């Protein structure tokens, strides 16, 4: 099937770019001797996991549904990287009984006691990470709060669970454009979580795994001393936020939305397409970056960007393409029915609008080489 024959809107995934992005991060991390544990929340696809990432790869997930789908596809080592609640422990236990080694994360004595009680009751020492907050962006214990970190560790280890280690996510790295600034953030991330690991070890508690992760810091970290594994997710697909930070080139973005031209408002310089926020999502992550990409950067059907043309506004099923304000670019002159691709601000949010990927390859532009299923839900 050709792109010209595909129903729109559709979600395109360039497998050659995914392979390039995976190889880039693996090569970047190889000299540090750390494990790469890709975050599969972006793809949400057993096909992508098996055929592009590799079914034997240790992975990170953000929902238990992800863990269940990937385990059914062959995953054997999974970190569920959202704070655990007691009602979810039986689902975790079912996965473990089926042969998938699932670890959980938490950041309080109460959660640790719940995991320990479940572990004693089931006779299964559930591995748990203590989440560390390195930048005030989300959950976790601050690394300087040594007494709390030790108390959580003791509640796990002495209560019947397994203290797996410490884990953090540097969400602040998404707000600091440029390699130097991201590298500094990566060092803050590393130093904080390594300090937390030292706190546990000084108290006589085990800390075998020291886990860090975000796509920007994974690609720009200059020192990973004391770290044992790196987690990152959006790096596989990349998106306009990552490009805006300088983490990747626009040409590295593997995901795009295929849309059809449905009309024009020529007096306004608008081209209308059949991909609104139901296809692109409402994510406007680039609005806070030096270059605002609207709802997405517009490319031709082969994936080559039109200079300075973005989706400037979107309603449920309509997108409006126009020149970037102030660029001086001429409006597009495309006939009704012409196909365009729109690169997303946030790959995870845009992919979540669709039920499958149409697979393409930069080496054979214009052709759809296959499909890959994807899923949503929790």
Q: What is the pLDDT of residues 77-87, one digit of tens each?
A: 999 999 999 99
pLDDT surpasses 90 at 363 = no
pTM equals 0.95
**And the tokens for 157?**
């280890």
Q: How confident is the model at residue 1 (pLDDT cuts 50, 70, 90)?
A: confident
Please compute the mean of the pLDDT values over residues 111-138 and round it to a whole number: 96
| Residue found by looking up tokens 């517009």 in the block | 298
Strand-pair partners of 39: 60
Q: How confident is the model at residue 121 (pLDDT cuts 50, 70, 90)?
A: very high
Q: How confident is the model at residue 259 (pLDDT cuts 50, 70, 90)?
A: very high
**SS3 state of residue 293:** coil
Pairing of strands 127-131, 297-300: unpaired
What pLDDT score was predicted for residue 362?
Answer: 85
Kindly state the DSSP code that residue 126 receives in the 8-state scheme: -
Mean pLDDT, the chain, as a whole number?
A: 97
| Residue found by looking up tokens 């590295």 in the block | 252
What pLDDT score was predicted for residue 136?
Answer: 83
More confident residue, 332 or 138: 332
Q: What are phi and psi of 161, to 5 degrees?
A: -95, -175
What pLDDT score was predicted for residue 309?
Answer: 98
Query: Percentage of residues in the chain with pLDDT exceeding 70?
Result: 100
Structural domains of the chain sorted by starting position, each given as residue range(s) with its CATH number in brackets: 3-10+254-373 (2.40.37.20), 34-237 (3.20.20.10)
Query: Percentage of residues in the chain with pLDDT exceeding 90?
Result: 95
**Maximum pairwise Cα distance, the chain:** 72
C-alpha dihedral sign at 139, 46, 76, 120: positive
What pLDDT score was predicted for residue 201?
Answer: 98
pLDDT surpasses 90 at 114 = yes
Pairing of strands 356-360, 339-343: unpaired
pLDDT surpasses 90 at 138 = no
Strand-pair partners of 339: 260
CA angle 236, 338, 265 (to 5 degrees): 110
**SS3 state of residue 38:** strand
What pLDDT score was predicted for residue 70?
Answer: 98
pLDDT surpasses 90 at 224 = yes
Distance CA(130)–CA(141), nearest Å, equals 8
Nearest to 301, CA basis, from 339, 327, 332? 339
What pLDDT score was predicted for residue 137?
Answer: 81
pLDDT surpasses 90 at 307 = no
CA neighbours within 13 Å on the CB side: how many for 33? 2
Pairing of strands 77-83, 59-61: parallel
What pLDDT score was predicted for residue 364?
Answer: 87
What pLDDT score was predicted for residue 91?
Answer: 98
pLDDT surpasses 90 at 365 = no
Q: What are phi and psi of 348, to 5 degrees?
A: -60, -45
| Residue found by looking up tokens 């130097």 in the block | 180
Q: Please give the distance of CA 110 from its chain centroid, rounded to a whole number.
A: 29
What pLDDT score was predicted for residue 129?
Answer: 98
pLDDT surpasses 90 at 376 = yes
């Amino acid at each position: 099937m050709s792109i010209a024959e595909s129903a729109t809107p559709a979600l395109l995934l360039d497998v050659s770019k995914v392979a390039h992005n995976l190889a880039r991060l693996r090569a970047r991390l190889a000299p540090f001797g750390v494990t790469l544990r890709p975050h599969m929340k972006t793809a949400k696809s057993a096909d992508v996991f098996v055929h592009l990432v590799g079914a034997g790869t240790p992975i990170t997930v953000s929902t238990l549904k992800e863990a269940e789908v990937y385990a059914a596809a062959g995953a054997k080592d999974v970190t569920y990287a959202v704070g655990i609640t007691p009602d979810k422990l039986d689902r975790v236990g079912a996965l473990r009984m089926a042969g998938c080694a699932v670890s959980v994360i938490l950041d309080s004595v109460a959660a640790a006691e719940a995991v320990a009680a479940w572990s004693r009751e089931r006779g299964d020492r559930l591995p748990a990470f203590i989440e560390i907050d390195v930048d005030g962006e989300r959950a976790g214990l601050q690394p300087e709060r040594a007494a709390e970190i030790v108390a959580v560790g003791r509640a796990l280890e002495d209560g019947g669970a397994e203290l797996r280690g410490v884990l953090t996510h540097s969400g602040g790295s998404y707000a600091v454009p440029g390699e130097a600034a991201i590298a500094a953030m990566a060092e803050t991330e590393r130093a904080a979580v390594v300090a937390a690991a030292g706190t546990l070890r000084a108290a006589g508690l085990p800390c075998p795994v020291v886990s860090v992760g975000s796509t920007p810091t994974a690609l720009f970290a200059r020192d990973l001393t004391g770290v044992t594994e790196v987690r990152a997710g959006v790096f596989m697909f990349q998106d306009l936020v990552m490009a805006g930070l300088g983490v990747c080139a626009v040409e590295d973005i593997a995901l795009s939305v295929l849309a059809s031209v449905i009309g024009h408002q020529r007096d306004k310089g608008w081209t209308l397409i059949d991909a609104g926020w139901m296809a692109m999502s409402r994510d406007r992550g680039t609005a806070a970056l030096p270059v605002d990409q609207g709802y997405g950067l517009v490319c031709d059907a082969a994936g080559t960007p039109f200079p300075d043309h973005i989706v400037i506004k979107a309603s449920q099923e309509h997108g409006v393409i126009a020149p970037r304000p102030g660029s001086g670019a001429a409006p597009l002159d495309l006939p009704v029915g012409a196909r365009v691709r729109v690169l997303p601000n946030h790959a995870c949010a845009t992919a979540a609008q669709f039920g499958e990927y149409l697979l393409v390859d930069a080496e054979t532009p214009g052709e759809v080489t296959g499909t890959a299923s994807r899923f949503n839900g929790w």
